[in-house]
Structure 1
């Protein structure tokens, strides 16, 4: 499927939103990047990650403690992805490009190619959210059916019961298979990859070797295969489930839409900003801990509309976006509590499995 085009309007809602957000930053004098609050959080997460890794590999705690620390390492890995890598990849971590680059490549150490992630997430997902055949994030077939336009199999009738098993293996699949499929195919779905330079190829393979050395070779040498396997599975299952559920709660719930381009013109009905609002949901917006842990990605609407603004500012600018949506009669999907969003996601999967 070719990437569709968005509708053009004489009075762009996106322009109105940008003007209001620009006024907010001009009036408050705040930078759009993360600042000291984000730097402090990043330092805390990275130091915690290093501490947990060193304790597990070089000091060999007893089995119960080792499993607990492995679980915490998985949670910390997800948190680094949300708070450090994600902002860095969008250029919102710092005003300095080299700092953003450093933040972004934490993905490489944790096992995911930043080159592939940038293409999959920044270029495709952020532009064509929930467009089946283009947005790779809703392509989990044949295991899961994430859109009514996807083929339904008998097993999908039970996907609202078994989905969590597959979410647990996202990180493992990402590290061991997904990046390689994209690399050797030269495309994500039907969208060709940007041409990789020699440096990109070296970075891809170099960091893969580093990741496998840190998380497979060294631990097996120090701990033995069985202890490593138990710890590694505890680590990757937790990281995978957290990464999966956060992104799914933002897009695959009952009230988000899955627009289909016009067959004749390959054009979507709405302009880009309204498309983002219709396909994206906020969740757990009343929880400060969730906001802190997931790097503001529970304010997914604001992130999709303004990805180059650090997540530190999302709770504040969400009021501006919500007010503009109210004035212009534009949908704003929000689940104030985490349990509401999870229940809606389960209901969505049930609906997709039985439609």
Structure 2
């Protein structure tokens, strides 16, 4: 695949070779069950899991007792939203989210609506960002569970989560955020940002697929109940035998971000600058979807006038791009994110996401623009 160009890193990333090297021993010689603490095999695996949990906690300024391993951000989002709504509030609350949220959040909220919860789906402006006054007006009325993602998975815009956290604290409400798309480039401090729960996935940050984490503040953790019945692992909130190899992979990915995120972010900013410059120097009549400043640096979602994204892809099969989030690309409906921004149908049909990686080169960006011009 040496002649192919991958520009869909928001969908998934390859496992970093350094991280893979740390994982491999736990698939073979260090194969113990981390929950079997009556012998050295299990204790060794458990030590590796604990170290990984510490690495995750350190990245977001949490306590290790507040980090729960899951299969990924989808499970984390489901667990947080459903368990907080059903157990912390016991139905005496409203749920507030945003029309542009990831599908797993929206579907979790739809399910809670069927159980009798009132859910409000906030609008976004033409930049894809909520109005804080809309949120505050709702919070004034009643305690709420607020679930608002940090960086949007399609357009990459950043919601003002520090200000959202402040409002939730002011009105005695609970704030959950999906940080899967932002943690790779943005500093997250759950204490400073007043975040009560947040979700992340390893495969978005050069770790393995099939593993994620949920941060749950100790202030609310003991009131929650698991979604699955089982042996009571993960502090009685997520039963099932953990994979030490996958836990190590996520932990090492988080440790790497703690050490190197600024370097990675600088690279993304340089690549985006090149991309915008090349687009401006081309003959393409394009427009950027979403706020041009308040966004993660490894995303650019654009529409090209007179072009249909899926047709464009057919003419450049050697380049991997996305016309929406990977989780909804199998459907024929238009992007719910771009629709919520009230963009016209032609613009939505011509829109696609360019997401750069740590090894994306200037030459790859030039090849993309050349291919788009053909």
Structure-1-length-normalised TM-score: 0.28
Q: Which has the higher strand share?
A: 2
Q: Which has the higher helix share?
A: 1
